[in-house]
Every structure is written in C-alpha cells, then in structure tokens.
Amino acid sequence: MVVLSRVSAVLGTIALLVGIGIFVYSEFEVWKQWIAVSALRSRDFANPIPHSVLGASVAVLGGFLLGLGLSRRR
C-alpha cells in the first residue's frame, strides 16, 4: 500500500501542477481578450471556457489523488 500511496501522491502532484498551468494559460487568454476589448480592437479569439473547465477538472483530480496519497501513508 505504501507504493500505491506514493504513486498516487506523485501523480496527484503532477496533475495538480498541470491543471494549474492549463488554468493560468486560459486566464492569459481571457486577459488578452479584455485588453483587445478595452482598446476597441476586434480580432478572433479562442473560447477560453473549455480551457478553464479542463484546468479546473485536472486540478481537482490532482488534488484528490494527492489527498488520497497523503492519507494512505500509514
């Protein structure tokens, strides 16, 4: 069980960092859209909602795995 908890903790940490990275990228896209709108420029942008949902989902999964790995170390 110790090996499984360590694997879960490592995968959870990696997934948490990846989720945070995806979420930061999507917020950067939102910031670019806000800058363009405030400058009254129009250009095509990608919809940031799927990236935000994906980043939040991966971060939640990573947090769950990390918590599972940390709680099973006994």
Indicate the length of the chain as a whole number: 74
pLDDT digits (tens, 9 = 90+) for 23-73: 898 888 888 888 887 787 766 777 788 888 998 999 999 999 988 888 876
Written as six digits, the tokens of 14 are 């990696």
Phi, psi of 60 (to 5 degrees): -65, -45
The amino acid present at 72, given as its one-letter code, is R
Q: In the chain, what are the domain boundaries?
A: 2-71
> Tokens at residue 10, please?
């490592």
The single residue listed with the structure tokens 């945070």 is: 20
Q: What is the pTM of this model?
A: 0.75
The mean per-residue pLDDT over the stretch 13-28 comes to 90
What stretches of the chain show up as alpha helix (H) in DSSP?
Answer: 2-38, 49-71
